[in-house]
Structure 1
Amino acid sequence: MTQRVELAAVIDRLAVDALITEYAVAVDDGDWDAYRQLFAPDGRADYRSAGGIEGGADEIAAWLTETMRMFPVRQHLITNRKLEFGTLDQDIGDTAHVQADYVNPMRFAERTGSAPPSEPSTAPDFVCGGRYGFALLRTHGGWRLRQVVVTEKWRRVMREAEQQKR
């Protein structure tokens, strides 16, 4: 492998990693326009294993807009990223697949009128974890998501009493 090819591979790895990070930030920040822009035109996502839906990026963004209102505090941690480049129409490096684990702590929204803003939240925490499968496509605009598949492996709701013990 030449230095030029090795450099191109490193640049692609960094770009793919940045796209996965942008995905997590868009979901955590509730930036659904940014979320949509991460996908290729025919991109899809499947959140069914976590109790969600499967569909195109626009449909998923609309569903997330409503669903994530119950979790105003979110923080995706995407780790253990395993990246493999593939081929499309015999052109090496046009596709990529990332397998990555996630831990996603969130906080339920406060009930209306329950606590003043200056008081610590008493809403329960919700934490889940599992694995993402990301299929990516190199486009003229850079790497984009063709498919996101969430495989939730576990979840836990921490009630107020549990939180106070910590």
Structure 2
Amino acid sequence: MSAADIVEIQQLLAAYVFAIDARDYDALDDVFTPDAEIDYRATGGAEGRWAEIKPWLGRALAPFPITQHLIGLPLIRIDGDTATARTMLFNPMQLARPEGDHLFLLGCTYADELVRTAQGWRIAKRVETDFWVKDPPSDFTPEPAP
């Protein structure tokens, strides 16, 4: 394990949240392995391989003109060419409403499995855990899973 590996993984996790908030889903191709397993079910989302989840993300986040995925310092463990990371998320979300936008807060932990590839570290598996929400919209229906 080297400090360079830790920094590279931290930058990868940061690239994810900036891409999500910018709605730059193509940038996430450099975050996940092509066959990555994604499980967003804890937060009401979908589960599947990256190829299935990528188009779903655009539809799922469309009702939210503003999101801010704020992550804490990850706990990273490296073992050769594999690693795990647990990263806390705090996520204010603004849901567009005709009567006025609804701001609510949610949080979870990203539990990731990473692999070193020829292009650098990539997430091979992501599971959201430890979900909580404050002031959720009472009548919002999330985008159905693919």
**Structure 2 residue aligned with 1:142:** 120
1:100 match: 87
CA drift at 1:158 = 6.6
CA distance in 1 between partners of 2:104 and 2:88 (Å): 17
Q: Deviation string for 1:35-74 (max 9, x for gaps)?
A: 1331112212100111111111121111111010111101
Identical-residue share of aligned pairs (%): 35
Where structure 2 has 5 or more consecutive residues not aligned to the other structure, the ranges are 138-146
| Larger proportion of helix | 1
Q: Is the 8 A contact 1:75 1:106 kept in 2?
A: yes
What TM-score comes out, normalization by structure 1 length? Answer: 0.77
Q: Deviations over 1:138-160 (max 9, x none)?
A: 0000111101111142112278x
Q: Which residue of 2 aligns with 1:45?
A: 38
Cα distance, 1:110 vs structure 2: 3.6
- Given the superposition, is the C-alpha separation of residues 64 and 152 from structure 1 closer, same or farther in structure 2, using an over 3 Å criterion? farther
Equivalent-residue separation in structure 1 for 2:136 and 2:126 (angstroms): 28
Q: Is the 8 A contact 1:131 1:150 kept in 2?
A: yes
Aligned residue among 52, 56, 76 for 2:49: 56
Shift of 1:101: 0.9
Q: Describe the SS at the equivalent of 1:70.
A: coil
Match in the other structure for 1:17: 10
Aligned to 1:81: 74
Paired residue for 2:23, among 22, 26, 30? 30
In 2, the alpha carbon distance for the partners of 1:51 and 1:40 equals 23
Amino acid at match of 2:22: D
| Contact 2:35/2:51 (<8 A) preserved | no
Q: Distance in 2 between matches of 1:157 and 1:27?
A: 22
Question: Which blocks of at least 5 consecutive residues in structure 1 are unaligned?
Answer: 1-7, 87-92, 115-121, 160-166
Structure scoring higher RCO (CA < 8 A, sep ≥ 6) equals 2
Cα-Cα RMSD: 1.6
Extract structure 1 runs of 4+ deviating beyond 6 A. Answer: none
